[in-house]
Structure 1
Amino acid sequence: MVEFTEGAPCWADAMFADVEAAKSFYGDVLGWTFGEASSEYGNYTQAYSDGKAVAAVVPPMPGVDAPSQWCLYFASPDAAATAEKIKSAGGEVVMEPMQVGSFGTMLIAKEPSGAVFGVWQPGEHKGFEKTGEPGAYAWAEVFTRDPAKADGFLPKVFPYGVQKMEPGDDPEMAGMDFKIFSVGGTGNPVLGRMSMGDEFPPEIPPYIQVYFAVPDCDEAVAKAKKHGGALHFGPMDSPFGRFAALTDQQGAAFAVIDMSTTTGDMPKMSDA
């Protein structure tokens, strides 16, 4: 079982008004299968890829009218201590640390610019059982209109090193404000931070974009559209893989990436 370093993304789940529709959508787009709903925990239903746990879906709590969205969880050895760090760094704890049976302890928070995220202190449930392979979590980026707030917050809460991506001579990267956060120095990148420009409609709040790996980006986009999803960006080739940003048929944003199809040289990074 994988043990996740503090600050590393370790789990993702999403709340859907229509869980069965979500299961059909992601079952086709990402090849997921689903376990039995856990009635003891609000019908929380785990998703599997090749028999390994990769995410979960859950209906909203009764009386809660929440939008469908993905939530990324970061590993912590002590959720209560992380909650205090979040508060002292200017973030907001939306849901205080809560023990989930013997599985672990969770909390939900917002970083100061508004993006929602989770923290997971593992018990029996360690988190993703595979990553970086088709059908599994691959990467994540904080999209924010106030990058200075996010940049100041994240290293105060998690033990991150920070680097800035240099645009170089690539015209598509001109003016891009993108940083990478790593655990254990700069050798293990775990999270990106992208500044939201005018291309993002003002009604879209800051959010964390979760990338799932797929064997074929274009095929995944076609399947998403077939099920009522919408394409918002791409497919685009990059040194990291061919990727596209989507929303599912219930409005939850996510991205897909084929990491086996890469184009161009890796961008240079500098200390931020």
Structure 2
Amino acid sequence: MAVQPEGTPCWADAMFADVEGAKSFYGDVLGWTFGASSSEYGNYTQAYADGRAAAAVVPPMPGAEGHSAWCLYLASPDAAATAAKIREHGGEVLMEPMTVGGFGTMVLARDPSGVVFGVWQAGTHEGFEATSGPGAYCWAEVFTREPATTDAFFSAVFPYRMRQMEGAEIDYRVFDVGGDPILGRMKMGDDFPPEVPPYISVYFSVANCDAAVAKATEHGGVLRFGPMDSPFGRFAALSDPQGATFAVIDTGTVQGEMPTITPVS
């Protein structure tokens, strides 16, 4: 596969205190298989959907133990330059550019509203190999209580053009790269408990949303929202048994008319 355009979601991983439990859960819910863990890189373990790299799981680094969460990485041609932009526009660099063997260079950062995300400058590891089918990354949405702050930050750091969803009760924008929609942004309303921090929700494809939800809850997951029909697919938001939130979507089951999404001047 080719290296993704700057700002495009290109990889996802999560830290779990119980890596074997995470492998069992996501193997059952998303059909993932797992490669051998790499002790040289902190027992990083890659997940595969139909034999193609889909994501990764890893135990927490010493001192980083805490709540499990999925991290979405955005592509960059120059991780150090992106880190400088993050600082310039009010964000925080949580992990300085770190070269991971010949695989690439990573950065961990937080936007001014508190959204944590990653940056990936590809080397031999270019990112998602699984781009369609059950278990593959499908979409992601930034949930923030400060949409104006988040919009200004991400569109300054990455070459995003923004479009607003019209006629909806929610405040929802789409970030485009080269005319292609690559990321959503949702304003967190009063239905989100105040203790829930801003975050990025990562969507994985499933063949049947309801069946995936049933498997997730059967194996200790918690249903947070849905299942719900939409013009984009039937989807649901979940937490896994270790507290990491994610979403599943069946893009083959659609209902309703596509919303109007207009450019933001």
Q: TM-score, length-normalised on structure 2?
A: 0.98
Residues 86-101 of structure 1 mapped to structure 2, 5 A cutoff: 86-101=86-101
Q: Distance in 2 between matches of 1:85 and 1:214?
A: 36
SS at match of 2:21: helix
Cα distance, 1:270 vs structure 2: 1.1
Cα distance, 1:63 vs structure 2: 3.5
Cα distance, 1:64 vs structure 2: 2.7
Per the alignment, residue 127 of structure 1 pairs with: 127
Cα distance, 1:62 vs structure 2: 2.5
Q: Could you list the per-position Cα deviations for residues 221-272 of structure 1 after superposition, in whole angstroms to 9, with x for gaps in the alignment?
A: 0000011000010000000000000000000000000000010111001122
Q: Kindly report structure 1 stretches of 4+ aligned residues shifted beyond 3 Å.
A: none
Q: Distance in 1 between matches of 2:137 and 2:20?
A: 21
Amino acid at match of 2:160: Y
Per the alignment, residue 227 of structure 1 pairs with: 219
Q: Distance in 1 between matches of 2:77 and 2:63?
A: 33
Residues 11-50 of structure 1 mapped to structure 2, 5 A cutoff: 11-50=11-50
Per the alignment, residue 211 of structure 1 pairs with: 203
Q: Distance in 1 between matches of 2:175 and 2:149?
A: 14
* CA RMSD across the alignment: 0.8
Q: Distance in 1 between matches of 2:63 and 2:99?
A: 22
Per the alignment, residue 77 of structure 1 pairs with: 77
Per the alignment, residue 5 of structure 2 pairs with: 5
Residues 1-272 of structure 1 mapped to structure 2, 5 A cutoff: 1-167=1-167, 173-174=168-169, 176-184=170-178, 187-272=179-264
Cα distance, 1:61 vs structure 2: 1.2
Q: Could you list the per-position Cα deviations for residues 109-132 of structure 1 after superposition, in whole angstroms to 9, with x for gaps in the alignment?
A: 001100100000000000000224
Q: Distance in 2 between matches of 1:151 and 1:62?
A: 33
Amino acid at match of 1:246: L
Structure 1 unaligned regions, length at least 5: 168-172
Q: Could you list the per-position Cα deviations for residues 184-211 of structure 1 after superposition, in whole angstroms to 9, with x for gaps in the alignment?
A: 1xx3000000000010000000000000
Q: Distance in 2 between matches of 1:24 and 1:130?
A: 20
Q: TM-score, length-normalised on structure 1?
A: 0.96
Farther-moved stretch of structure 1 (202-211 vs 54-63)? 54-63
Structure 2 unaligned regions, length at least 5: none
Contact 1:110/1:116 (<8 A) preserved? yes
Q: Distance in 1 between matches of 2:5 and 2:155?
A: 14
Amino acid at match of 1:156: A
SS at match of 1:152: helix
Q: Distance in 1 between matches of 2:226 and 2:21?
A: 24
Amino acid at match of 2:224: H
Q: Distance in 1 between matches of 2:3 and 2:76?
A: 11
Q: Distance in 2 between matches of 1:102 and 1:135?
A: 26
SS at match of 2:26: helix
State, as a whole percentage, how many aligned pairs show the same letter: 69
Q: Could you list the per-position Cα deviations for residues 145-196 of structure 1 after superposition, in whole angstroms to 9, with x for gaps in the alignment?
A: 01111011011111011100002xxxxx32x100000001xx3000000000
Cα distance, 1:89 vs structure 2: 1.0
